Chain A
Amino acid sequence: MDQNQHDRLAQEAQYQSNPMMAPTILPTQTYGHSLSSSYPRLHPYDPQAMYQLRQEPLQQQLTNFWAKKRQEIEETTSFKTHSLPLARIKKIMKGEEGVRMVSAEASVVFAKACEMFMMELTIRASGSAEENQRKIIKKCDVASAISRTDVFDFLVDIVSGHNKIMEQQGFVGIPRIGTALTPTENVPYYQMPPHQSLVPGPPYGSSGMVVGMPVHYQNHPGLQTPTMGPTPNPQNSSRDSDS
């Protein structure tokens, strides 16, 4: 190709009597013309210049290509990790009495909320495992994380009475939070919080959601009996220390 170009340049130079016309017509001839005029016998320089010109855009394209691929891989990995089945979540939601219809967007928000909840619980449980110098998270680590955090109070009886609930599932079906509560079972558990200097507040008492739901109504007196009302200071201090 270089020889062909050289021949073309030579022919055009021969045909055109006026050399000043060449640069205005073809820009490539400008470069060749100047080279031929200044260094008439250094033809090997042409292929090097052409090779360098071709190489630069190729390198840029390769760099951009691999950068995009890297981003794509990261995004794909991060998004594939978060996928909870929406149909399953809807079934669990409808297991609650009174829930009739749920919009599609609400199901998606529930799936994301559940993932974030699981991640937060994972962080706290892994902290508990590390305190005991273990690298495998066990159920007791999850229970410990739940007992230390006020916002996880709604899980207290479920995790502590895990075996009983598994037995009950065969007879009752979906275990209710209310049915899982028994006064004798709760009293020894709530002796623990004073040692940890944390007072777990009942979420239903603080939220005030008592009317309209029999389950909540059962929970309300059961939870409030063994403990005093929650104060905002312990919750704030526990949150600050956790974060």
Chain B
Amino acid sequence: MSEAEELPRSIMRRVVKYKLSRCSEDGEISVSKDGLLAFSESGRIFIHYLSATANDICKESKRQIINVENVFKALEETEFPEFVCPLKASLEEFRKKNARKKVVVSKGKEDEPKKKRKLEGESSDKGEGSEKGEDNDKGEDSDKGVSGDDQ
């Protein structure tokens, strides 16, 4: 608990480079090492700041668990209201992915049928394609989480 946790720099670099490639016209801007460290520190402080605000809102409503509504209110209080709409959209996608995973697990099918099902899903609908992308993301999250614990 007392140890200082940092956000992984490889992911930070990926996020920063992704945005730079999108917004800059020539696409040649990069980040130095101390700049990347500043981004990582800023992200960590942002999480601290937002979690403290959300926790205060959670206490006001006299509950023990921070939920998404507290987070949205915290974003508005910390003057980041423009984040709320896209965050709600991504939350809906996350919920769809979870619901879909539960259905697959309840049926108890093997890997190959799952892959075929996902492939067919992609051919029929764009949303399901995006869900597959998030599946990959979650896999990476769990892997890096484990590596973090090992460290």
Interface size on B, residues (CB 8 A): 80
Report yes or no: A83 in contact with B141, Cβ–Cβ below 8 A: yes
Partner of A84, one of B7, B45, B59: B7
Q: How far does the alpha carbon of A99 sit from the alpha carbon of B80 in the complex, in Å?
A: 21
Report yes or no: B137 in contact with A82, Cβ–Cβ below 8 A: yes
Interface string of A108-135 (1 = CB under 8 A from B): 1111111111110111011001100001
Q: How far does the alpha carbon of A175 sit from the alpha carbon of B6 in the complex, in Å?
A: 12
Q: How far does the alpha carbon of A209 sit from the alpha carbon of B50 in the complex, in Å?
A: 12
Q: Which B residues contact A (CB, under 8 angstroms)?
A: 1-5, 7-8, 11-12, 14-16, 18-20, 23-24, 28-32, 34-35, 37-39, 41-56, 59, 64-68, 70-72, 75, 77-80, 83, 86-87, 90-91, 94-95, 122-123, 126, 129-130, 132-134, 136-137, 140-141, 144-145, 148-149
**Dominant SS among interface residues on chain B:** helix
Tell me how many residue pairs across A and B have CB atoms closer than 8 Å: 257
A75 CB contacts on chain B under 8 angstroms: 126, 129-130, 132-133
Report yes or no: B1 in contact with A108, Cβ–Cβ below 8 A: no
Q: How far is the CB of B54 from chain A (nearest CB, A)?
A: 7
B59 CB contacts on chain A under 8 angstroms: 98, 212
Report yes or no: B24 in contact with A88, Cβ–Cβ below 8 A: no
A136 close to B (CB within 8 Å): yes
**Contact flag A138-B34 (CB < 8 Å), given A98-B59, A105-B94:** yes
Taking A101-B66, A151-B79 as given, write out 12 further A-B residue pairs in contact, using a Cβ cutoff of 8 Å, ordered by the A residue number.
A81-B15, A96-B51, A96-B52, A99-B66, A105-B95, A113-B87, A118-B39, A136-B30, A137-B29, A142-B39, A146-B42, A162-B41
Size class of the contact patch on chain A: 35 or more
From A9-17, A19-27, A31-39, A152-160, the one touching the partner chain is: A152-160
A216 CB contacts on chain B under 8 angstroms: 52
Partner of B83, one of A87, A116, A206: A116
**Contact flag A83-B11 (CB < 8 Å), given A92-B44, A106-B71, A207-B53:** yes
